[in-house]
Copies of this chain bind each other. A is one copy, B any other.
Amino acid sequence: MIRHSVIFTLKSSVDAAGVKAFFEAAHKLAAIPGVQHFESLKQVSKKNGYGFGLSMEFADEALYEQYNNHPLHVQFIQDHWLPAVAEFMEIDYLPYEQ
């Protein structure tokens, strides 16, 4: 299992309707083959400056790679991510095994 996530802030120019539209667009990524446990998240810790998150899981690296190159993902980046996101950090987790 690979859990791919991204923690981010949206530009101050993105109003409440823009946030809603962004997450509606993001949710379509859940339909890409291999995407499991897709989650739209609000970041609430005051110990970092990010406001939102997206998280999903893949069974293996090949499905993750396929998602990255999928036209729906590429289009989302172009049409929604780049125009709206101010700052972000990608986090990819594997289970820690002793």
* A positions within 8 Å CB-CB of B: 2-3, 7, 20, 23-24, 39-45, 47-48, 50, 52-53, 55, 89-96, 98
The answer to whether B95 touches A48 (Cβ under 8 A) is no
Min distance, Cβ A27 to any Cβ of chain B, angstroms: 9
As for how many copies of this chain the complex holds, the number is 2
Q: Give Cα A42–Cα B94 distance, bound, in whole angstroms.
A: 5
The answer to whether A41 touches B89 (Cβ under 8 A) is no
Interface centre among A53, A55, A91, A95 (most CB of B within 10 A): A91
Chain B residues whose CB sits within 8 angstroms of the CB of A42 once the complex forms: 93-96
Q: Of B39, B91, B96, which contacts A7 at CB under 8 A? A: B91
Chain B residues whose CB sits within 8 angstroms of the CB of A45 once the complex forms: 90-92
The answer to whether B40 touches A91 (Cβ under 8 A) is no
